[in-house]
Chains A and B, each alone.
Chain A
Amino acid sequence: MLSPRSTGALALAASLLVPVALDAQETSPEIGDAAPTFTLPDTYGTDVDLSQFSGEWVVLEWLNYDCPYVGKHYSSGNIPGQQEKWKAQGVKWLAIVSSAPGTQGYFEPDVMNARTASEGSNVDAVLLDPDGTVGKMYDAQTTPQMFVIDPDGILRYMGGIDDTPTSRVEDLETATQLVDQALTELMAGQEVSVPVSRPYGCSVKYAR
């Protein structure tokens, strides 16, 4: 039907337009939407796929042990305490490290495991995301930064660990622990009163 010439021309024209069509918009995670799925290796070399936790509550925590904000929440016992509390209720708590090799917070798996132990962490796994793919997929800006995913894989909370973006340990007394609040409300079948908050802390040390 088509003469070779017009076929070629049309194909050319179409191929010129394809890059435009494929230039998909940058997406960011949305409360109420499915949480982006990913597969990342943990510090023991096992691949962990988010979808394997279908049917379970999942907390994602962006982690950099050398970030002083993370330090505030670990040395005070705030985050380890929450990990322990919610793990007892069957929640899977995954820490993700998106620090690029050579930047703060990046450690070889063995060192990371030693740190995880020494920090008193109770996470189920520390996942390694050295090229920052998953971090960028989740728009992770800071450490700590938190996400709560329900058993259907829907994102229910994203933002800070609490609502008081300071370095002071004493502020923990007055801060509202937003992840804890969201999980408590969700398990009680209630709406999350604060589903989105400002993530605060150190910047995620993405590869530059």
Chain B
Amino acid sequence: MTNLPTALPRLLRFGAVALLIGLPAGLTAQPVDGDVTPYSDGTFVTATESFTPGTTARIGLHIRIDEGWHTYWRNAGDSGSEALLDWNLPDGWAAGEFDWPFPERFEYPPLMSYAYEDEVLLPLDLQIPADARPGTTVRLAAKADWLVCDEVCLFAVDSLSLEVPITADEDAPSEWAAAFEANALRLPAQAEGWEFQARTDPTDEALGLGVTTPAEWDGSLEGAYFYPHHTTLIDHFRPQPLAVDADTAWLRFQLNSFNGGLPERMDGVLVLAEGQSFGPEARRAIAVDAALLEGPIPAQAPVMADGAEASGQLSLLAALGLAALGGLLLNLMPCVFPVLSLKVLGFVEHASGDRATLRRHGYFFAAGVILSFLALAGTLIAIRAAGAEVGWGFQLQNPAVVTALIFLMVAVALNFLGVFEVGNALTRLGAVGADESGYRSSFLTGVLATLVATPCTAPFMGAAVAAALLRPPVEGLVIFGGLGAGMALPYVLLTLRPALLERLPRPGRWMETLRQALAFPMLAVAIWLLWVLGLQVGMGGAAAVLTALLVFSLGAWMLHRTPPASVATASQKFARVAGVVLLMFSLGWGVGRFVQPAGGASADAVAVSWEPFTASIVDERRAEGRAVFVDFTAAWCITCQVNKRVALNDADVTSAFVDRDVALVQADWTRRDDTIARELEALGRNGVPVYALYPADPTAPPRLLPNILTPRIVLDALESVAGPSSTTVEPTQED
């Protein structure tokens, strides 16, 4: 009846008939032919032929579903509902709840359904009473409700029953035993060694599920999907991007817009992608149940997070190829290209006609170039390592880094478009090493060429620098090696075949055109980064950065449009100064908004005393009936210092600490300390700052505060721990 092309006329007719006879037209939702279970059939099945008194038997509701239709999982998603049983059992018999095999996803944009197609076996435990009499038969009866949908939905309601003999001896497996066994592998199971953390980030209505897999598991979480039990916790339709933070992978969700209050725990099923499994039985569904705590959710550059095809990451070889191409392009920069032929002609002169000598000059020059690039990469990697040491992550997770990169990309684009120029030192290159003749000098010339070319090539290398800072060290080295190789390639080729020199295009306007054209890929990268930033800090933050970029561009342009101070008129001088001011201001305002200001030396004047952390101090203080606030901090952690000054030493906060008799404990992680590391690990963190508030009740879980504190955050947290827990109304029954 629901075949739409035919449904309309029939409904018309039916509606008219219903009107005539006053039949409640709501009944039209049921099939006209009286089938109580449209497009599906339900039966009770048992895993054994008989039941033994005093045991637990496995039975199930089997629903067979017509092609194209589906029935729902325990959390149906955005519409639909799960199957229900209304038992009518003899006294003393007790049936458990359904165990739900993991479902599939059915997308009806913008809605999502979690459901089963073809067939589903919903198993449950049945307690056989000890006084059941062998030789008799038990009649299991229940009213079963389920929903069957394709585009449209129909109720299925059936009275089901099954008679099963009671026997004293072992129960023989039934014809359904194999189905029960196979089905059991689709039920979620505890995964040994897997750890889960659930986070909520109220600032952007995001939720996260952190998955830490045991070291011996060699599968991939790519394509894993979390099916929550709660029906209005996450937005079911949105994708669940995966981000990796240290040894934990994070699935990210958006809060469901019909969430009426966060639950205390996030539970559900994590289903690994097809082909992935865990444990000896090669299961795919892992039971998840984790306390839902407030805290930041690691997010990753979306390009990788979205990597549905798993091809999001460039292979090393591809990166090398691209970098070499980039290096080759470096030679076409207006300030480098004219030098190319000059340099090679110099080699030709030195070689005095000996092809072998000429070739070797080329090789040494190339080696010099490549090694200089590698050294540059090494320096950057060392800087990064030093940065990581003091807690500065050069990662795209950090909005300040993303913003700095956006500025870099736009600056490069402006430079390419000729809005401003960086000095032009390369003209000297032709003369460098000209009066030396050995191979050593060729090598050094290569080194010098790289160095001297820097002012001209630096903008172009911005992307490579960023890569070296953001990618794993090996990739950084490969990219820079590739750049060097690319830049050196023409020299090597030309020393191999000096005749090609004649074929080189003449320097000219085309070089300028090329340079300007290259501005646009740079701007494209800036747009991508801006999108990343928008995800991290929201539209407001991204708009602020755009505004800063506008001011930045204006400043750069003003600076370049005015002549040097020595020849400038007063107004030009003013414009120049204004340009510099705009540049500084925009950078400071744009990037600085996401950078934690450097903390000054601590000048704590407020009289609260902090006890040093020991393994047992939290338990001891809680035993005294006190809540405990633990500040996991380190001298090199700038955020920690800022938090201390802004929030922890705030007068309201310190007096709240005193009023509520909160025990204050400082865990100083300046020198890595195993006791503290273990405590951090227990909290699911691996770095500082971490602020944990342990309620006085020793059974209550600790509450994690955000990494960036305000007095309000601390006060609210204290309030929630000390006062009656602010209950949120849960309007629908969840299980």
Contact = CB atoms under 8 A, between A and B. Distances in A.
Nearest to A13: B523
Given A28-B257, A167-B145, A203-B79, A114 B553 contact: no
A67 interface: yes
Interface in A73-121: 74-76, 102-104, 107, 111, 114-115, 117-120
B15 A115 contact: yes
Contacts of B232: 196-198
B244 interface: no
A208 B110 CA distance: 9
B260 A195 contact: yes
Interface string B202-237: 000000000000000000000000000001100000
B27 A75 contact: yes
Interface stretch (A17-25, A34-42, A52-60): A17-25
Interface stretch (B17-25, B283-291, B365-373, B495-503): B17-25
Given A13-B414, A206-B110, 14 more contacts: A13-B410, A13-B417, A20-B534, A28-B257, A71-B28, A74-B26, A111-B15, A114-B19, A139-B257, A142-B78, A165-B231, A167-B155, A196-B259, A197-B260
Contacts of B145: 166-168
B419 A6 contact: yes
A9 B153 CA distance: 56
Given A13-B523, A195-B260, A24 B539 contact: yes
Interface string A10-51: 101110110111011100110000000000000000000000
Interface string B513-556: 00010011001101100110010001100110010011001000
B542 A20 contact: yes
10 contacts: A10-B419, A102-B5, A103-B151, A119-B25, A142-B79, A159-B258, A195-B260, A198-B231, A203-B113, A206-B109
Contact of B154 (A24, A68, A159, A163): A68
A203 B419 contact: no
A158 B4 CA distance: 30
A126 interface: no
Given A21-B546, A67-B29, A202-B149, A166 B84 contact: yes
Interface in A114-157: 114-115, 117-120, 136, 139, 141-142
A117 B111 contact: no
Given A9-B419, A117-B19, A158-B258, A200 B110 contact: no
A202 B80 contact: yes
Interface of B: 2, 4-5, 7-8, 11-12, 15-16, 18-19, 24-30, 78-81, 84, 108-111, 113, 145, 147, 149, 151-155, 157, 231-232, 257-261, 410, 413-414, 417-419, 516, 519-520, 523-524, 526-527, 530-531, 534, 538-539, 542-543, 546, 549-550, 553, 557, 729, 731-733
A99 B504 CA distance: 66
A196 B523 contact: no
Interface residues of A, number: 69
Given A20-B531, A139-B257, A160-B732, A118 B25 contact: yes
A71 to B, nearest CB: 4
B155 A68 contact: yes
A34 B315 CA distance: 50
The 3 closest A-B pairs by CB, nearest first: A75-B26, A28-B257, A203-B79
A177 B113 CA distance: 25
A24 B540 CA distance: 11
Contacts of A107: 8, 11
A114 B16 contact: yes
A122 B154 CA distance: 25
B541 to A, nearest CB: 12
Contacts of B29: 66-68, 70-71
B257 A208 contact: no
A115 B25 contact: yes
A21 to B, nearest CB: 6
Given A20-B542, A21-B546, A167-B147, A72 B26 contact: yes
Given A118-B18, A202-B80, A205-B151, A194 B731 contact: yes
Interface string A167-208: 110000000001000000000000001111111111111101
A28 B238 CA distance: 13
Nearest to B156: A167
A23 B414 CA distance: 24
Contact of A13 (B4, B12, B260, B413): B413
B109 A203 contact: no
A13 B732 contact: no
A18 to B, nearest CB: 9
Nearest to A66: B29
A22 B257 CA distance: 23
Given A17-B530, A104-B2, A163-B733, A202 B79 contact: yes
A203 B80 contact: yes
Given A104-B4, A166-B84, A16 B527 contact: yes
A153 B147 CA distance: 36
A35 to B, nearest CB: 14
A117 to B, nearest CB: 7
B622 to A, nearest CB: 34
B257 A114 contact: no
B257 A194 contact: no
Given A139-B257, A167-B155, A203 B731 contact: no
Interface centre among B8, B16, B732, by most chain A C-beta atoms within 10 angstroms, is B732
Contact of A114 (B15, B413, B414): B15
Nearest to A5: B418
Nearest to B530: A20
B260 A196 contact: yes
A12 B729 CA distance: 52
Contacts of B419: 6, 9-10
Contacts of A158: 258
A108 to B, nearest CB: 9
Contacts of B78: 141-142, 203
A25 B417 contact: no
Contacts of B410: 13
A163 B731 contact: yes
A16 B171 CA distance: 73
Contact of B258 (A5, A120, A197): A197
A15 to B, nearest CB: 10
Nearest to B549: A17
Nearest to B108: A203
A107 B9 CA distance: 11
A70 B28 CA distance: 11
A198 B81 CA distance: 11
Contacts of A12: 520
A203 B694 CA distance: 43
A18 B4 CA distance: 43
A165 B520 CA distance: 54
A158 B677 CA distance: 45
A16 B18 CA distance: 60
A193 B418 contact: no
A201 B231 CA distance: 13
A159 B5 CA distance: 31
A69 B79 CA distance: 11
Contacts of A163: 731-733
B554 to A, nearest CB: 9
